[in-house]
A and B are shown apart, each in its own frame.
Chain A
Amino acid sequence: MTVTRFLDPLTLARIGNLDLIARTVVNGFVHGLHQSPHLGVSTDFAEHRPYMAGDDIRRIDWRVYGRTDRLYVKQFEAETNANVMVLIDISASMNYGSGAITKLDYARFLAASLAYFSHQQRDRIGVVTFDKDIVNQVPATGRQLDTVLHTIDRIEPGGEGELDLPLRRIAQSVRRRSILALISDFYEDPDVVRHAVNRLSLRGNDLIVFHVLDPAELDFDFDEPSQFEDLETGTRIPVVPDRIRAGYKGLIDSHIAQIAQIMGESRVDYCRVSTAQPLDHALFDYLSRRQRLQRIR
């Protein structure tokens, strides 16, 4: 049994229990990296620094003192207790899936995995769901994984979505620097996205963006002329896919490129994920971001 099999969204969809999904994803993912389930715990040594008055004398490295006759204290990696907030876009457009799972399902798996993973890291974990406004919010705490997972599990698709208002409110409600994982399909004007993202990142938050898309949204592999209905507005238009496929792909690619460019300009980690991809891609991005943040501290 390979690890990636457990990370396949199709396999995860059959499990049903979100807690188990998160455990499966995180343990399987970690197992594939190395054997330690406690990567980056606070006992890791970082560096030495000269002793200063007031430092705990228990942190003085006596071996270094014996070799150098100078007092140095050990500098360890930062302790846990970082705030991790998972921001999930539950607007109706997320309720689309050309395969076994929808983008919202994928977002739930990803959010649950991130929550579980962060909990293992002893981070404080919280979750916010929103469409055109905040729908549900669980503040970040260190002991509410069950609440967070339950909240994620009970997510229902919302209505029309937008980024500006809910992210502004989230930015106002997050008072402590946090790691913010934003999961959305970003059907929004790039300028709006820019303002919303900047509002979050400029408050000192570390923002990582998961741009979730369905393969059909990327490839537009429809054959039959059909009535296409907007999931958010209910608007219908007749579409001949063969005629517009090239034009559509040009537009969506351009949009994705613009979003990616905005994220880069805003120094936001951007991860475009497809619901057909295993979750490890997203988790790798998150992990690398998380490790980088720990080292900085």
Chain B
Amino acid sequence: MGISFLAPLFFAGLVAVAVPILVHLTNRDRRDVVKFPSLKFLTRIPYRQMRRQRIQHWFLFALRTLAIILLVAAFSRPLLEGVLVTTTDDAPGREVIVALDRSYSMAYGETWQRALDAAAEAIGSQPFGSRLSLIVFDEQAQVVAGPALDPALLTRALDTLVPGSHGTRLAAVTQLANQLLLESPLDQREVIVISDWQVRAWDRTTRAQLIPGTTLTPVDLSNVDPSNASITGVDVRRSEREGRQTVVITARVVNQGRQPITDLPVRLSINGQGVAETTVTISPMESRTARLGPVAQPSILARATVHIGEDLLAPDNTFHLALSSRPALSILLIEAPGAPNQGSLYLRDALAIADDPAFAVTRARANSVRPADIAAASVVVLHDSPFPAGAAGNALVEHVAEGGGLWIVLGGRSRVGSWPETATALMPGRWRRTVDRLDRQGVSLASVDYDHPAFRVFGGTDDGNVSGPRFFRYRPIVLADSGQAIARYTDGGVALADIGFGAGRVLLWGSPFDNLWSDLPVHPVFLPFVHQVAKYLSGGQAIDGWRKAGQVVNLSEVLGEMGIDSDTLDREIIVEGPSRRRREVDVRTSDPFVTLAEAGFYSVYPLGRERASYPVAVNVDRAESDLAPLDIEAFVAAVTAPDTATASAGALGTTTVTPADRERRQGMWWFLALGALALLVVESLWSNRATQTHPAPAGHSPTATE
């Protein structure tokens, strides 16, 4: 049986025990000054003999000390845990975890205030002796307060909480709760989850079971008939009008409520200035696009914000976007002399329909391309073409060396050994004669490096099947020493090779996009593949973009977008969040990763160069805007073990612990306080008696000194 204390800080009051000691040893007779004719002889006696080191009234001293100890113990709220757990049937010692959802959907209407009230009630209504923890969760869960026996600690922590910018992941709660419960010595465990219980918060594929014996008490704060409009995304299209670059932004607005929304205003502002506005009318559970613009292309990377009218859930009403100042990326497509026009048709069309970023494609023949054309392009594509000869060839090498991109798409016209020696260094490898795989109905891509930017968009399970296209012919690639195979065919041949040359990069692809050597151009993955390769080869030039709240950003990449080489940087990087919170990161000595926790615009700039601020747009996870409720009973059944007692939804409001009952269970301190009072009374009586029994000696009150 152990003893714990609800308010152990009161033990600091034991310092008061020194008071009676001081009274008895030092100050006890200070009020009775004995006047004496002369201290002449007293001072001759060694001082140590005159110090009042002796306690004369041991009984009084013991009474006073014990009274103080009892008072301190009473205020510390002692708890005999063993007794309570084993003998009090209705109030056993329990481990209680209160989990509060702080995803941004909790900002809907009065939901957050209701959540705080429910949390306070859950904390306050726990039986005496319960060990409490408060955790908050969105996509991650963390302990805010506890484990503690003092409910006030948790209640105070509630005052500091606000909804965040992230989505909800219920599995995070159960995982953290299990960690806490496994560390608990108490047998009775309860997890109280206070949430708006969105259906998207529960990923049924994720293991989220609580340890056996745990009671899950859901507190349902979902809204019966939520109405919410949100911006789920924007498209940016650039065009040239009367010699000026213009931008049109199209926002997709969704009505997730059951009531139609009419004339919802949609506004576009760039760098804080409103530049376009329109209205949309949306039927229930439908979406509309709002076209904003055209507006002038900003001259620098701009902070564009699309905002719709206010509703009960504000965070998803705004969409932030870093709007690039660059016009469409220029791509020079070089073809072999005499090559048919339709040979690069699929590639040209794929590049032409890109809008994030847009590509401006120009065509040239290998024998007639001018060095100026090469210098003006961001990316050069040699599609089934020999290497340009002469000055153009040199310009192409120089173009790559200075940071340009080169994509060599091999075909039947890519003659072996025809390339000049100066171009050899920038080649990821050499190629051989064409191999035909018609006999085996072609080969497909395998061993794809999904971490490479060209294939990163296909990394998810639902993000496209790059193994679908069949390749019937290809040019086998023999990697150079510095070349890197990004993808291989199922027969082991290299499909895509990468190499860096100077400041630029070169990709080597083994099959042309003519829909003859392969059927890749007619597969859905073709467009994103071409776009990703083009963006990759453009060298990290600033593009329109935004990131999701909670995403970790690599500052080295951001610095690359800013045109700053992190290796030569001589100062710290400042990352300033939307709430003006600043963080200094030294990318030279520490990890360059920063979590983007808030929605809005982050500013990234080298220390002391605030004017060179680079905006990073961050938006809340739009999936969180879906307030559709989860089947709580199904969730409870899924996460609790069969032998786990489960409370019904909303059971918290009918907790049977009354304040009087709770006070009775915590009433041990009353006995201590009464004991202290009794001791003080006895002390007073005894002290008076002692004074009367032993009057002060005659020398204590000189009569003639008045």
Contacts and interface: CB of A to CB of B under 8 A. Distances in A.
B697 A223 contact: yes
Name the prevailing secondary structure of the B interface residues: loop
Interface string A176-204: 00000000010100000000000000000
B41 A255 contact: yes
Nearest to B48: A243
A255 B32 CA distance: 28
Contacts of A104: 704
A202 B54 CA distance: 52
B273 interface: no
A255 B30 CA distance: 30
Interface string A68-109: 000000000000000000000000011111111111110000
B38 A93 contact: yes
A224 B700 contact: yes
B35 interface: yes
A214 B37 contact: yes
B28 to A, nearest CB: 7
B35 A231 contact: yes
Interface stretch (A131-139, A165-173, A234-242, A257-265): A234-242
A51 B50 CA distance: 73
A97 to B, nearest CB: 5
A104 B28 CA distance: 31
A243 B49 contact: yes
A100 B702 CA distance: 9
Nearest to B47: A237
Given A96-B36, A100-B703, A228-B36, A240 B698 contact: no
Interface string A212-243: 00101100011111111111110111111101
A193 to B, nearest CB: 13
A148 B42 CA distance: 37
A248 B45 contact: yes
Interface residues of A, number: 46
A218 to B, nearest CB: 11
B50 A240 contact: yes
Contacts of A64: none
B703 A222 contact: no
Contact of B698 (A98, A103, A157, A225): A98
A105 to B, nearest CB: 7
Contact of A157 (B40, B41, B696, B704): B704
A221 B703 contact: no
Interface in B49-79: 49-54, 56
A231 B37 contact: yes
B54 A240 contact: yes
A216 B49 contact: no
Nearest to B696: A224
Contact of B33 (A94, A98, A236): A236
Contact of B34 (A227, A232, A248): A227
Contacts of B39: 228-230, 233, 235, 237
B418 interface: no
Contacts of B696: 223-224
B31 to A, nearest CB: 9
Contacts of A185: 37
Contact of A225 (B42, B56, B694): B56
Interface string B405-425: 000000000000000000000
Given A235-B39, A237-B42, A238-B51, A228 B704 contact: no
Contact of B697 (A222, A233, A247): A222
Contact of B41 (A103, A225, A241, A252): A252
B44 interface: yes
17 contacts: A93-B38, A94-B37, A96-B702, A214-B37, A221-B697, A221-B698, A224-B56, A227-B30, A228-B39, A229-B35, A229-B36, A231-B38, A233-B39, A235-B39, A238-B52, A239-B34, A241-B697
Interface of A: 93-105, 157, 185, 187, 214, 216-217, 221-233, 235-241, 243-244, 247-248, 251-252, 255
Q: Which 6 A-B pairs have the closest CB atoms?
A: A93-B37, A225-B52, A102-B704, A251-B41, A98-B698, A187-B38
